[in-house]
Copies of this chain bind each other. A is one copy, B any other.
């Protein structure tokens, strides 16, 4: 892993993905289609080039701090019987997303699956036999035209909430301008698409961004008046962060440069949520540069907190899944710091986990009045 860094870094940093307009993306789709048509006219076998996925083409770049997709390509040929169906599916999705871009429409990945699914005339063959097939083709297409699905006007389900002194503008929705500290205690429901051409971050008045795993802890901190007192923006992920929420966190950091602290349950699942926000994931390795925040810091919960704050009585036993996950995480290149190795080892030795809400054992306001302010003051973070 992590060979040929400069090459790969340049790849992530190049701005084509970020800056490409819907028009440009549409042009790339057209160019790819034209090539196929040319091949057919010349009685050649049309081909479609995308990137190899899977572990063998994923690298962790220590300089950028990102999980990245390598340069290995894969070619699909129409006249190869093993490729033909997928080839057909790819052209269907390419045509449909091209339509979306032209018509200024967006669709969920489930909708495009349903929209394209049909039985091919005079056969019993379906275009798609499950969403898994269209999802896979969408990833191929993202890599092929070097963009993210959001730029193909596709999106996954929304999840996540935003609270704090930040003013957003929804450019394509009456230019709605609203401040996420003035929507009562509920906050703003984060959309599945947070592309800059749609949602503008107009103003942030805050010292840091606090990303929170559980909805209940988000509500606790709002109730305690934490965001105002500590000039914090809160992002509630409600478990693993959705793509839209990751994109928003990425943009908040990229556009404001204020620090990002991540606050999850003290267990392998929580730490994994953190790592996805920080370094990205293997499944979306090609898009880490648009979705991740390598400078993010981990504020808690750690298993050391148990002793420090006397929480011995409110730990829980780790489940089998957590133990398995911890063992896998110990091997990931992006968990090779001594702090994280120690943390994972502790988890595997003591087999306990500690939830964010277990801090209520001290008192309800302990998290807002002592735990978080102390950690930030002492810079008591994990890397």
Contact = CB atoms under 8 A, between A and B. Distances in A.
Contact of A215 (B126, B159, B170, B364): B159
A183 B189 CA distance: 9
Nearest to A236: B189
Contacts of A357: 108, 110-111, 114
Contacts of A191: 184-186, 219
Contacts of A283: none
Residue of A117, A192, A215, A314 with most chain B CB atoms under a 10 A cut-off = A215
Interface string A266-309: 00000000000000000000000000000000000000000000
A190 interface: yes
Taken together, the copies of this chain in the complex come to 2
Interface stretch (A140-148, A172-180, A251-259): A172-180
Interface in A344-383: 355, 357-361, 363-364
Nearest to A180: B183
A313 B361 contact: no
Contact of A174 (B107, B176, B182, B219): B182
Nearest to A119: B313
A227 B298 CA distance: 41
A157 interface: yes
A115 B313 CA distance: 11
A230 interface: no
A368 to B, nearest CB: 12
Given A219-B108, A220-B111, A314 B117 contact: yes
Nearest to A114: B360
Interface string A159-181: 10100000011101110101000
Given A161-B189, A189-B186, A117 B361 contact: yes
Contacts of A65: none
Contacts of A13: none
Given A108-B216, A158-B219, A192-B219, A364 B115 contact: yes
Given A174-B182, A183-B189, 20 more contacts: A110-B355, A111-B360, A117-B314, A117-B361, A119-B313, A126-B313, A157-B214, A157-B216, A159-B238, A161-B189, A168-B184, A170-B183, A170-B185, A176-B182, A178-B178, A178-B182, A178-B184, A184-B199, A192-B216, A192-B219
Interface of A: 105-108, 110-112, 114-115, 117-119, 126, 155, 157-159, 161, 168-170, 172-174, 176, 178, 182-192, 199, 214-216, 219-220, 223, 238, 313-314, 355, 357-361, 363-364
